[in-house]
Chain A
Amino acid sequence: MSDDIIYSAIIDEHYEEPRNFGKIEDPDEDIMETNPTCGDTIAMYLRLGDGKIREIKYVARGCLISVASASILSERVSGKDVSEVLKMSKNDILSYLGLDLGPAREKCALLSYDALIKMLRKYEKEAKK
């Protein structure tokens, strides 16, 4: 069942109290991503070790969807193997949100995912060297 943005308990909960919000000092990876259509930005920080995401934090300036999806994503990937997270698809992220989103809003939902995947790919590439 898809919720609607008019009222979605899960979205509201994460928007009001986003999990893992903040900054990591001296992160192993960090990135700044922007959604050009609305100006949403997210700064994301990772502490990585033994092929796992040890810690994930972010500072987001954005809409309901982008903040809540960053919060949900951070809960889902914390402590997970990098290789496992890289297997997560865009559709997985959208299903965690449980919202029926149009293509424009999907960009908001996937901003944090795009940021995370970019960092993990870079990490994997460097680990292989």
Chain B
Amino acid sequence: MINMFDPLEIRKHFPIFERFQRDGIVYLDNAATTQKPSEVINAIVNYYENSNSNVHRGVYRIGEEATDLYNRSRENIARFIGGTPEGTIFVRNATEALNLAASSLTRMLGGEGEVLVTRMEHHSNIVPWQIASSVSGIRLRMMESHTDRPLKWEDIEKDITGKTKIVSVTHVSNLLGTINDLREVGKNLHDLGIIFIVDAAQSVPHMPVNVNDLECDLLAFSGHKMLAPSGIGVLYGKPELLDRMPPYMGGGEMIKEVFEDHFTAADIPEKFEAGTPNIEGAIGLSAAVDFLKNLGMDNVRNHEKDLISYTLRREQEMNMPSLISYGPRDPEVRGGIYAFNIRKKDGGDRPFGNEVHPHDISHLADRIEGVELRSGHHCAMPQTVSLGVYATARASFYIYNTRDDVDHLFDVIGKIERRMIK
């Protein structure tokens, strides 16, 4: 049990921090994936060393143990988000969850209707709908959203038409860090008979999230962004909706009976879990949930709020005209994500402008100071393009980051500017 929220104490649970310390690495790419604590690693190792066998079918001892571990993991994860086990479907990641939703809902809706998303979506909440519209009458529409404030019900409301069947929005932007205001959205959409989907890949790991408070129909998140291994994620759904949705993939585990010309689907959640599942992933995600529950999700959020406040304050103190960052300035509506560019509008003789390419920023930050940043469009091209750039550099924080890490970030930003801007 970790009582005080102390990032340096938390680090002791993460074996990789021994290497980080040895090599002087400051890991700031947590929106891409997080590090894994011993508790998670050990849970997976323990499963393989003591209980490995396939789930659901074996009536022998370790088969029952594996099934029990898998089921209890599901119950634990469901409780963590305020959901029910039958509404908690294991998938590979949030991307697969949203693909499942798009494919299945398209068929449920008879291939008709309009899907509304925002411009701040990750590609995984855009492309599955574009694929759906290429094979059916489903139409995708991108509503207006702002880069300096959260999306609110009023923003969504004005884009809804009689054809709107689904509204699918991100809870927290992986580029701007915006925490969208989704209160009332679910209730209002349900009054209109519209399905409400939340991409929670950047919120479930970082703040208390409860599917009942959000009143969402479906919610997607990834395990690897919250201390768990890669290859495990969740699509949460309201059981009454999941019951109506047709299966996504066919195969073992998802059927009741198979005949020569048809099948009957299993009940939820198995209906959506074809094939042998990622058993160790589910166990690892459950251990990650325990680790986070121990810390307290309110504490996690407060810690990241402190880091982003400090980041925005340090940025202001730097007073560096060539440093441009994006997203809301109010830490109350901002997650621990800081995307930026280093560019000067004028000066320099280069034919292509006086700016530092984000790839050079992250390459230099690594080589100069061991600061690990991500660069590119962060799988949010429509949002990136709307900022008038083709890429940004991004720092993103988690439970083991400190104000000291933020200081390293700004040290290296200063050094890169001196190296690159003429």
Interface of A with B (CB < 8 Å)? 4-7, 15-18, 21-22, 37-40, 59-65, 67, 105, 108
Q: Which of B349, B357, B384 has the most CB of A within 10 A?
A: B357
Residue of B nearest to A7 (CB): B419
Q: Is B413 an interface residue (CB 8 A)?
A: no
Known: A39-B391, A61-B352, A64-B357. A5 touches B363 (CB 8 A): yes
Q: Is B377 an interface residue (CB 8 A)?
A: yes
Q: Is B351 an interface residue (CB 8 A)?
A: yes
Checking B357, B367, B376, B391 against A6 with a beta-carbon cut-off of 8 angstroms, the contacting residue is B367
Q: Are A5 and B359 in contact (CB under 8 A)?
A: no
Number of A-B contacts (CB under 8 A): 58
In the bound complex, how far is the Cα of B357 from the Cα of A108, in angstroms?
11
Checking B360, B377, B384, B422 against A64 with a beta-carbon cut-off of 8 angstroms, the contacting residue is B360
Can you list 18 A-B contacts (CB < 8 A)? Answer: A5-B364, A6-B364, A6-B368, A15-B350, A16-B349, A16-B350, A18-B350, A21-B351, A38-B390, A38-B391, A39-B376, A39-B384, A61-B390, A62-B357, A63-B357, A64-B357, A65-B360, A108-B359
Min C-beta distance of B240 to chain A, whole Å: 41
In the bound complex, how far is the Cα of B391 from the Cα of A37, in angstroms?
9
In the bound complex, how far is the Cα of B419 from the Cα of A40, in angstroms?
21
Min C-beta distance of B33 to chain A, whole Å: 16
Min C-beta distance of B16 to chain A, whole Å: 19
Q: Is B358 an interface residue (CB 8 A)?
A: yes
Checking B350, B377, B420 against A39 with a beta-carbon cut-off of 8 angstroms, the contacting residue is B377
Min C-beta distance of B416 to chain A, whole Å: 10
Q: Are B376 and A38 in contact (CB under 8 A)?
A: yes
Q: Are B368 and A38 in contact (CB under 8 A)?
A: no
Checking B358, B363, B391 against A105 with a beta-carbon cut-off of 8 angstroms, the contacting residue is B363
Q: Is B76 an interface residue (CB 8 A)?
A: no
Q: Is B164 an interface residue (CB 8 A)?
A: no
Residue of A nearest to B350 (CB): A16
Q: Is B383 an interface residue (CB 8 A)?
A: no
Q: Are A38 and B352 in contact (CB under 8 A)?
A: no
Residues of B within 8 Å of A64, CB to CB, are 357, 360, 420
Q: Is B375 an interface residue (CB 8 A)?
A: yes
Residues of B within 8 Å of A37, CB to CB, are 376
Q: Are B357 and A5 in contact (CB under 8 A)?
A: no
Residue of B nearest to A107 (CB): B359
In the bound complex, how far is the Cα of B362 from the Cα of A64, in angstroms?
12
Residues of A within 8 Å of B377, CB to CB, are 38-39
Residues of A within 8 Å of B376, CB to CB, are 37-39
Q: Are B359 and A4 in contact (CB under 8 A)?
A: no
Q: Which of A16, A37, A61, A64 has the most CB of B within 10 A?
A: A64
**B246-284: which have CB < 8 Å to A?**
none
Q: Mark B338-351, 1 if CB is under 8 A from A, else 0.
A: 00000000000111
